[in-house]
Structure 1
Amino acid sequence: MSLNPDRLFPADERTRAIAREIHQRTADLPLVSPHGHVDPRLMSENQPFPDPARLFVVPDHYLTRMLYSQGVTPAEMGVPSIDETPSEADGRTIWRRFAEHYRLFRGTPSKMWLDYTFAEVFGIYKELGPDTADEFYDHLSARLAEPAYRPRALFDRFNIEVLATTESPVDSLEPHAALAGMPAAGGRQWGGKGGKVVTTFRPDNMVEPGWPGWHERVERLAEITGLDTSTFDGFLAALRQRRQDFIAAGATCTDHGNLTAATEDDPKAAAEIYAKALKGEADETEILRFPALMLTEFARMSVDDGLVMQLHPGSNRNHNQWLYRGWGRDVGGDIPNPTEYTKSLKPLLDAFGNDPRFRLVLYTLDETVFSREIAPLAGGYASVFIGAPWWFLDSPEGMRRFREAVHETAGFYNTAGFVDDTRAFCSIPARHDVARRIDAAYLARLVAEHRMTEQEAAEVAIDLAYNQPRKIYGLEAQ
């Protein structure tokens, strides 16, 4: 197996040559990862990665979802169950089973990311399959035992400038504190070759009263902050204080994964629902309304403290209840929903959309709204930017459709650049490589059609890959 240097470039020879030249301008730029889900303890503890199966397969719902769709259960792939029902524990067995089914991923983004990682990170230029499973497993295991494959060494090797993790208001920020105080070569604080790990404020589990454990988390928020959360004003004050803790840990953004993009600006209604929820008296309509009310409260906080607000609604989470009951959240049981933005966001944008202190990055899982709603909103409000295709759309075809859908209305500079949105640390360079190649291919077509000069295209490519995410996500000072 080899990685073709022209992968993802246009088939037309002339346009492919232009894409190749554009890509060369971005290929070696540092990686900016402002929206991700890597565990910060990976960096603070810097322990060797586990066996290949537990590094690549067990925690990756992109992989286990596909395997389950073909009848391979999470238990067979070693995914831990909620009730501690035994799952496969032997890493080699899991890996052999994965290799046996690797053909299922042909042509998918997952296979492209993995092939890149096997080749460019671990030096395996072969095709994974039943006949090579043990060879891969042994090679990967040997590499993972070496100091050069510890997380911080790979962080430097990947040329990561900023890596954002995601924590809830009641999560510990101790890993970030440890990283901030960790000495490194030359007497500076650790953070790679000028790179840094920062946190992101993700309050979803605090604003969904129907989420199991909500009352306990509200009490935990009070314990952490020393504030009384028995009133709505106290709850808001505790969240504001916690945001300051996150800012001290490097946060520049918040992240909101509501079911819909609905917003309301009615603090009195929010306080009433909060009081009822604490007593267990809120009905289903009120429970679904509370996150919409809280989005506007969080926007109000962002105006005050400067955190960039990211909103990515539209996932019907845990749709497969058998998966959810057996293995919990984030195991592949989520389905995209149609999502409306224009009417839903109007209350929030009426209040803050024209405030120069406010910045909102919109993501979607509903491709139909890219040109109809999101691009016009970004073109109509100075505060609104378009987030990269993510999750189900984080793919070569999804990225191509995204550029075609939003560019003519919003241009390039109302988009926020690429985010890798991953828990799989070793896949980060692969994902950025795909995005940079797709953008080079799109820009090359504009050059070939004489809609841009090659110099303009090269400048745009650099901005999309590096300058835009640093600017839009507030990372320029990091």
Structure 2
Amino acid sequence: MAEDLYLGIKDLPIVSPHGHCDPGWFATDAPFPNPAELLVVPDHYVFRMLYSQGVPLSELGVGEEGRKKDPRAVFRTFAEHWHLFLGTPSRIWMNHVLNETFGVSEDLSSCTADLIYDEISGKLAQPEFRPRALFDRFGIEVLATTDSALDDLAEHQIVRTSGWGGRVVPTFRPDGVLDGADPEFVQNLDKLAELTGCDLGSYDGYLNALRMRRAHFIQLGCTATDHGIERVQTEWLGDADALYQRLRRREGTEQDARRFYGHMLIEMAQMSVDDGLTMQIHAGSKRNTNHAVMREFGRDKGADIPIAMDWVTGLEALLNRVGNTADLRVILFTLDEGSYARELAPMAGHWPCLRIGPPWWFHDSPAGIARYFDQVVETAGYYNLAGFNDDTRAFLSIPARHDLWRRGVALHLVEQVARGYFGRDSAEHLARLLAVDLAKQAYGLQS
């Protein structure tokens, strides 16, 4: 029965409502670069594992020195260490890309690295391996990118007016203009003022500028916002303008910045009530914990580590202001697996606005998917889940990630049927919901 359930959803369209693909790929439709720059250099899942085994990041094409590396040499280094990925989802995804997307029949190894490099390079030069052709081949119905609130969205505009039928939509990511602890916060406010023509000298002007940017994103198909924070701490401030002014003058403390961001999460939720944008909160990652790597190579280089979360206390102020609004959607993503059964499932099983996001980052794996269902379904049910999103920069891995999720869905549902919790008809209905429909509903992507 598990195979039947899987086959029933295997070829459904892919709905990718949250991810980090570059919209420029689809705007220009230029050929992807060489195999190393496509599969190794941008993938922190790949280079963090190799770095943990003593491979310098520069040998993987990362950083200023890494950019001088011969891409073929980078790919060879990756192939020589391919065994390190045994047991990881990265190996499952990469095998899918090599075998299913590129049709590679040889096993990746130091002996086959050059052969496979040349085979992929040859295919990347063909029209059917350009971004738009792959988008269509993958069966993607819609793909959302993640875009700074300060992005002019020119590439999205090009896609919309190109005549191509692919649906690529932006997501509003305002962290840079909400987080007073960001070193570029004041400069970002200046850019926000320039983009909108609003006077950001007052808090009201600041809020108006944010509303204008949200409206601009919506005009280009946006259906969601996204907030990436270390810890959730919401608080409604009686005098937000005073704190805003201190931060604008660079006189605010770290505590001031945390309190202001917590207040602004509530403001963002209230704006979502008004404009209908789904709100995503990704929390529980201590970013850039390797200071030496941060200094030399910058952010997002594999040193982000999960931390414990207190969602109940952290979201109390936000939920008691807007949480009873049934039309609002707030999707919660955690790296603290212990919070699924302890907090998130009970919260989503009560508050009308809440939905639980799928297993994220370190937990987007066969075992992680199984643990997720075991911890959330009994209390939250299925209809308080947000379906699946791949949350990836690695465009070619999108089909592999959705396939892994759909296999996990089938395995979970057949176990539920075997336990006598419901029958086959319900399982088939739930399989489609979890594969496609819940994501469409949660992100407002039905049309």
Per the TM superposition, whether the score is higher than 0.5 is: yes
1:346 maps to 2:316: yes
Matched with 1:76 is 59
Deviations 1:202-231 (A, max 9, x none): 111111222222211110000000111122
Q: 1:232 aligns with which of 185, 200, 203?
A: 203
Structure 2 counterpart of 1:59: 42
Distance in structure 2 (CA, Å) of the matches to 1:162 and 1:351:
32
Provide the residue aligned with 1:454 in structure 2.
Answer: 424
Corresponding residue for residue 440 of structure 1:
410
Alignment-mate amino acid for residue 78 of structure 1: G
Secondary structure in structure 2 of the residue aligned to 1:311: strand
2:79 aligned with 1:96, yes or no? Answer: no
Query: TM-score normalized by structure 2?
Result: 0.98
- Whether 2:308 is the aligned partner of 1:334: answer no
RMSD (CA atoms): 1.0
Deviation at 1:87, TM superposition (A): 4.3
Q: Which letter does structure 1 place at the counterpart of 2:165?
A: G
1:363 aligns to what SS in structure 2? strand
- Indicate which of 269, 273, 298 corresponds to 1:303: 273
**1:246 matched to 2:246:** no
Return the alpha-carbon distance in structure 2 between the equivalents of residues 68 and 87 of structure 1. 17
Aligned counterpart for 1:154 among listed residues 134, 138, 145: 134
Q: Determine the C-alpha separation between the residues in 2 that align with 1:259 and 1:207.
A: 14
- Consecutive unaligned residues of structure 1, counting only runs of 5 or more, are 1-17, 184-189
Letter in 1 for 2:174: P
| Cα distance per residue 1:379-413 (max 9 Å; x no partner) | 10111111001111111111110000001111111
Corresponding position of 1:131: 111
Structure 1 residue 357, shift from structure 2 partner: 2.9
2:179 partner letter: E
Contact 2:59 / 2:66 at 8 angstroms: preserved in 1?
Answer: no
Once residues 171 and 45 of structure 1 are traced to their aligned partners in structure 2, the CA distance between those partners, rounded to angstroms, is: 17
Any idea what the Cα deviations from partners look like across 1:320-370, whole Å, max 9, x if unmatched?
111111111111111111011111111111110111231111110000010
Q: How many angstroms does 1:439 deviate by?
A: 0.7
Residues 1:382 and 2:352 aligned together = yes
| Alpha-carbon distance in 2 for matches of 1:417, 1:371 | 17
- In structure 2, runs of 5+ residues without a counterpart are none
Cα pair 2:128 2:134 within 8 Å, conserved: yes
Q: CA deviation at 1:86?
A: 5.5
Report the secondary structure of 1:255's partner residue.
Answer: strand
Correspondences of 1:15-414 after superposition (within 5 Å)? 18-81=1-64, 85=65, 87-183=67-163, 190-192=164-166, 196-268=167-239, 270-414=240-384
CA contact (8 A) 1:191 1:197 kept: no
Of stretches 423-432 and 321-330 in structure 1, the one that deviates more from structure 2 is: 321-330
Distance 1:37 1:267, change over 3 A: farther
Cα distance in structure 2, aligned partners of 1:325 and 1:310: 29
Q: Is the 8 A contact 2:35 2:120 kept in 1?
A: yes
Offset at residue 53 of structure 1 (A): 0.2
Residues 440, 86 of structure 1: alpha-carbon distance in 2 compared, 3 angstrom cutoff: closer
Q: Report the CA distance shift for 1:86/1:465 in structure 2 as closer, same or farther (over 3 A).
A: closer
Please name the residue that 1:186 is paired with: none
TM-score w.r.t. length of structure 1:
0.92
Deviation at 1:159, TM superposition (A): 0.3
Q: Provide Cα deviations, 1:206-258, integer angstroms capped at 9, x if missing partner.
A: 11222222211110000000111122211111011000000001000000111
Question: Percent of pairs identical after alignment?
Answer: 48
Query: Which residue of structure 2 lines up, in the alignment, with residue 425 of structure 1?
Result: 395
The answer to whether the 8 Å contact 1:77/1:88 transfers is no
Amino acid at match of 1:106: L
- SS of the residue 2:324 aligns to: coil
2:446 is aligned with 1:472: no
Aligned equivalents of 2:84 and 2:139: distance in 1? 31
Deviation string, structure 1 residues 81-113 (Cα, Å, up to 9, x no partner):
4xxx46442110000000001110011000000
Mean CA deviation greater in 122-131 or 245-254 = 122-131
Task: Indicate the SS of the match to 2:229.
Answer: coil
Cα distance between partner residues in 2 of 1:255 and 1:426: 23
CA contact (8 A) 1:48 1:149 kept: yes
Question: What stretches of structure 1 move > 4 A for 4+ residues in a row?
Answer: 85-88
Residue 212 of structure 1 aligns with an amino acid whose one-letter code is: P
Matched position secondary structure for 2:4: helix
Shift of 1:378: 0.5
Letter in 1 for 2:30: Q
Report the CA distance between 1:80 and its aligned residue: 2.5
| Separation of aligned partners in 2, 1:447 and 1:469 | 23
How far did 1:267 drift? 4.9
Which letter maps to 1:143?
K
Tell me the distance in 2 between the aligned counterparts of 1:88 and 1:111.
27
